Amino acid sequence: MIEKRTVWVDWCTARVVRALRDRGVRPLLLKGPAVATWLYAENPRVRAYTDVDLLVAPTDRATAEAVLAELGYAPPPRSWLRDEPPHAITWVRSADGSAVDLHRTIHGCEHVDEAVVWDVVSAAAETIEVAGVDVQVPSVEVRALHLALHAIPGWGAHVFADLERAVAIVDPSVWERAADAARRLGVDDELGFRLGLVPGGAALAGSLGLSTAEPRRASALTFAMTLPGWRARSRYLLQKVFPPPAYLRAVGDVGPGRLALARGYARRVLLAVRGGRRNGRR
């Protein structure tokens, strides 16, 4: 069943990529086959994936959105209770559940100018075949960097499994180039920290001259200003500062009672303004 789903996602990938190219858009496939055929070359089907992750140049985003709409995809409805994804918007085709994550940037680089991210990620892109169509993917060093930046607690065990495998089998020279790309993007501190979360990663980070200490996060207010538009910024701040009480209790931020809840919200307001470390996530 998993393999059938993967084959179907490949078909959707090929169809979307073809349609984008026909309209003059150059898409980059970030994950899925880009990871499976690289890290699991002996049997790519063991690495399951369920959606399509595409990055396009900032100047092409409007056209890409129009193409997705023509193919029957739609973005999620806007809501003040829904957090605005800072790196990608998921477009879903209701007819069959096909999903495309249209990226404006990559994980960990939400605060970096999108044009700079595109220049770094698209440089030296490679080509793989997906469902009979040639599809561009980032260079191996950018894929290695993206794996590390994507290793976030709560995002699933597979992100750490992929990074652990990459640390074990990817040539050190690739990691050296990944560190250079991270420095160009200003996220070398994040790369070192994420590497330190998996076996063998701390030693690799040390060989690359990277610290594994957790970086100090930008304040939620500062981070919100990197998002596109006041609606996205407002939704992000609302969700970060005033999540439902059940969420605060589930993550252990508050105890029982209204006074504890009030104190919990007050702490989140201070964190939003000052910034700081928080479970490795923004």
Instruction: List, for residues 138-151, the tens digit of each pLDDT value.
Output: 999 999 999 999 99
Q: What is the pLDDT of residue 25?
A: 98
pLDDT above 80 (res 226): no
Q: What is d(CA 264, CA 166) in angstroms, rounded to the nearest whole number?
A: 39
At 264, is the pLDDT very low, low, confident or very high (cuts 50, 70, 90)? Answer: confident
Q: According to the per-residue pLDDT averaged within each range, which of 111-120, 200-209, 212-221 is highest? A: 200-209
Phi, psi of 49, rounded to the nearest 5 degrees: -155, 155
Q: What is d(CA 17, CA 210) in angstroms, rounded to the nearest whole number?
A: 36
Q: What is the pLDDT of residue 271?
A: 67
Q: What is the pLDDT of residue 148?
A: 97
Q: Give yes or no for a contact between 110 and 233, defined as CB atoms under 8 angstroms apart.
A: no
At 153, is the pLDDT very low, low, confident or very high (cuts 50, 70, 90)? Answer: confident
Q: Give yes or no for a contact between 110 and 86, defined as CB atoms under 8 angstroms apart.
A: yes
Average of pLDDT values for 144-159? 89
pLDDT above 90 (res 245): no
Which structure tokens are listed for 104? 């404006």
Q: What is d(CA 232, CA 21) in angstroms, rounded to the nearest whole number?
A: 29
pLDDT above 90 (res 232): no
**pLDDT digit string (tens) for 17-72?**
999 999 999 999 999 999 999 999 999 988 999 999 999 999 999 999 999 999 99
Q: What is the pLDDT of residue 189?
A: 95
Which DSSP state fits 134?
A: E
Q: What is the pLDDT of residue 281?
A: 40
**pLDDT digit string (tens) for 73-123?**
999 876 544 445 568 999 999 999 999 999 999 998 887 889 999 999 999
Q: Give yes or no for a contact between 264 and 248, defined as CB atoms under 8 angstroms apart.
A: yes
Contacts of 36 (CB under 8 A, 6+ apart): 44, 45, 46, 47, 49
